[in-house]
Amino acid sequence: MDTLHTKRRNDEYELHGETIADPYRWLEGNGEDVEAWVAEQNEYADGFLSEIPFRDDLGSRLEEVVRTTEYEAVVPRPNGYFGRVRPRRGPSVLYVRETLDDERRELLDPNDLSDAGRCPSTGMCRVTTVRSSPAASRRAGTNSPTSAFSTSNRAAWSRNCPSVAGRTR
């Protein structure tokens, strides 16, 4: 199979008073010429890849290696230490521990929020910020970060994911 050649164009633009030549800038668009180029590249690559005898086994192994559990940094707050763990598949689960020596306990698992772990209206729900402060704990009538989180952020969850409105953990 012959090597593909990508056409070059005489595209230029000015940046900070300098003229920049960018012969491949046309590939940054979404036009029919870009779609044709992508299709041609895919066909070319598939021609080589389809001949690899262990391709399916390699794909399975790469999937296994790449999809690992991710542990995010623990964030200290006045009422505990919060962290997220993203399992091999699915959204991040929010954990809390009172002290660094304590075992972590699950605070919020988005998979429990709806049948498929997604908000039916948008197709997704995500935890972006945990705001649990002493004031939120007092409003919730507890020192528990879980209750404070559930109570103080119910309105935000209701706006972002109507299917969980009124639910607490």
Q: What is the pLDDT of residues 91-100, one digit of tens each?
A: 888 999 999 9
Domain residue extents for the chain: 12-66, 70-164
Count Cβ neighbours within 10 Å for each residue of 61-71 and write b for 16 or more, e otherwise: eeeeeeeeeee
pTM of the model: 0.40
Between the two ends of the chain, the Cα-to-Cα distance in Å is 59
Reported as type and span, the H/E element at residue 93 is: strand 93-97
Flag the least confident range among 4-18, 19-33, 124-138.
Answer: 124-138
Q: Alpha helix (H) ranges present in the chain?
A: 32-49, 55-66, 134-140, 145-152, 154-160
